[in-house]
């Protein structure tokens, strides 16, 4: 069989495809060039995830591992706007292209670096960011976990971050109990073929002697709200290296009230149970004095 190749038809077809490509590329360029609009979309998405008012310094559009939006100097304010509860040096969204062209953001990954969080419990026992036990018992109430559970978002990452806790509840005098957790690194991955979620958490608790290092890793079941309100199973491993016991004396005074100032606890254990509920632990606990 002899195939007749029409050069004019080929040129016409190629020209048509090139024109379509240029029109599409031009449309995408115009849409992505509007950084002010992309910045507004990103702020709107952050407010949806946190349930708080959000302000940012600048926004960049990058082509790293796909289309990504990097926000600089992110601040999350309290509901009444009186103070800032959360700040981060940067928040990086890896997003899908076509929803972005339609002025929507669908997150594939969320990576936050250099976050600083201040958690305060007042004299009445109320936390400034809601009830932490409810975050664990009812994670579907969080906008962030709703997106993680119900969308194609498959990674949440927090690195080089810090939490400062001030506790006024049942403390003698007017000064609060204060503790900082630094060098926090948290990764939550969503799996589609295995157990839905895995997590890794590490950090350090500074004290006057040396920092206490801790690591926590494991997995938990789906949090999409389709379990009829049943507890969410979780299991994993925990390691705490040289916890300075006197640093936590206000919370341990009933069981360790007479501990010397140079006492330490170390722990390695497996745990299992339910998020925000009962946990069972089995491992090794070491108590020592210098």
- Residue 163: predicted pLDDT: 92
On whether both 162 and 260 belong to a single domain, the answer is no
Residue 94 tokens read as 């890896």
On whether both 136 and 169 belong to a single domain, the answer is yes
Q: What is the pLDDT of residues 179-232, one digit of tens each?
A: 999 999 999 888 766 667 889 999 999 988 889 999 999 988 766 555 556 777
Whether 173 is in a domain gets the answer yes
pLDDT band at 128 (very low <50, low <70, confident <90, very high): confident
- Residue 27: predicted pLDDT: 44
Q: How many helices and strands in the chain, by DSSP H and E?
A: 6, 12
Alpha helices in the chain (DSSP H): 7-33, 35-50, 97-101, 132-137, 143-150, 249-256
Q: What is the pLDDT of residues 26-69, one digit of tens each?
A: 444 445 556 677 788 888 888 887 778 888 888 887 776 667 88
Of all residues in the chain, the percent with pLDDT exceeding 70 is 71
On whether both 186 and 211 belong to a single domain, the answer is no
- Residue 7: predicted pLDDT: 64
- Residue 1: predicted pLDDT: 47
On whether both 143 and 82 belong to a single domain, the answer is yes
On whether both 173 and 236 belong to a single domain, the answer is no
On whether both 148 and 63 belong to a single domain, the answer is yes
- Residue 249: predicted pLDDT: 80
For 73-81, which contacts have Cβ atoms below 8 Å and span 24 or more sequence positions? 74/46, 74/112, 76/46, 76/50, 76/52, 77/52, 77/53, 78/52, 78/128, 79/51, 79/52, 79/53, 81/53
pLDDT band at 22 (very low <50, low <70, confident <90, very high): very low
- Residue 190 near residue 148, CB atoms below 8 Å: yes
Based on the number of CB atoms within 10 Å of its own CB, is 179 exposed (0-12), middle (13-18) or buried (19 or more)?
A: middle
On whether both 123 and 249 belong to a single domain, the answer is no
Whether 40 is in a domain gets the answer yes
Question: Exposed e or buried b for every residue in 237-267, given b needs 16+ CB within 10 A?
Answer: ebebbbbbbbbbeeeeeeeeeebeeebbbeb
On whether both 46 and 184 belong to a single domain, the answer is yes
> Ranked by mean pLDDT, which of 6-10, 66-70, 77-81 comes out on top?
66-70
Indicate the range of 63-67, 163-167, 224-228, 247-251 predicted with least confidence: 224-228
pLDDT band at 152 (very low <50, low <70, confident <90, very high): low
- Give the residue numbers spanning the domain of 144: 35-190
- Residue 29: predicted pLDDT: 47
User: Which of these three, 159, 190, 221, is where a domain ends?
Assistant: 190
On whether both 242 and 275 belong to a single domain, the answer is yes
Tell which phi-psi region holds residue 229, choosing left (phi > 0), alpha (psi between -120 and 50) or beta: left
User: Which of these three, 163, 190, 217, is where a domain ends?
Assistant: 190
pLDDT band at 8 (very low <50, low <70, confident <90, very high): low
On whether both 249 and 133 belong to a single domain, the answer is no
Whether 26 is in a domain gets the answer no
Q: What is the pLDDT of residues 88-123, one digit of tens each?
A: 999 888 877 777 777 777 778 888 999 998 888 888
Q: How many CB atoms lie within 10 A of CB 1?
A: 2
What is the pTM (predicted TM-score) of this model?
A: 0.79
Query: Looking at per-residue confidence, does 242 or 27 come out higher?
Result: 242
For range 242-247, the mean pLDDT: 87
Whether 16 is in a domain gets the answer no
Q: How many domains does the chain have?
A: 2
For range 240-260, the mean pLDDT: 79
For range 112-137, the mean pLDDT: 81
On whether both 134 and 42 belong to a single domain, the answer is yes
Indicate the range of 122-126, 161-165, 178-182 predicted with least confidence: 122-126
Write down the mean pLDDT value for the chain. 78
Query: Looking at per-residue confidence, does 243 or 64 come out higher?
Result: 243
């Amino acid at each position: 069989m002899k195939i007749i190749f029409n050069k004019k038809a080929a040129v016409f077809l190629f020209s048509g495809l090139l024109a379509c490509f240029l029109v599409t590329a031009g449309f995408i360029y115009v849409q992505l060039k509007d950084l002010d609009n992309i910045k507004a979309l990103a702020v709107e998405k952050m407010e949806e995830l946190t349930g708080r008012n959000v302000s940012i310094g600048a926004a960049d559009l990058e082509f790293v591992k796909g289309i990504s939006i990097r926000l600089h100097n992110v601040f999350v304010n309290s509901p009444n706007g009186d103070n800032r509860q959360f700040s981060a040096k940067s928040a990086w969204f890896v997003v899908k292209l076509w929803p972005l062209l339609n002025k929507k953001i669908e997150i594939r990954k969320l990576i936050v670096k250099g976050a600083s969080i201040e958690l305060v419990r007042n004299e009445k026992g109320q936390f400034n960011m809601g009830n932490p036990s409810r975050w664990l018992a009812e994670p579907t109430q969080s906008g962030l976990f709703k997106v993680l559970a119900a969308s194609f978002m498959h990674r949440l990452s927090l690195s080089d971050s810090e939490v400062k806790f001030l506790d006024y509840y049942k403390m003698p005098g007017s000064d609060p109990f204060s503790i900082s957790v630094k060098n926090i690194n948290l990764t939550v991955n969503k799996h589609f073929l295995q157990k839905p979620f895995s997590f890794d958490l590490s950090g350090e608790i500074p004290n006057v002697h040396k920092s206490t290092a801790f690591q926590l890793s494991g997995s938990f079941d789906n949090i999409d709200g389709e379990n009829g309100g049943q507890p969410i199973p979780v299991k994993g491993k925990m390691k705490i290296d040289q916890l300075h016991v006197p640093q936590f004396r206000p919370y341990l005074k009933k069981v360790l009230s007479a501990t010397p100032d140079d006492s330490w606890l170390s722990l390695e254990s497996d745990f299992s149970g339910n998020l925000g509920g009962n946990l069972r632990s089995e491992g090794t606990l070491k108590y020592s004095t210098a």
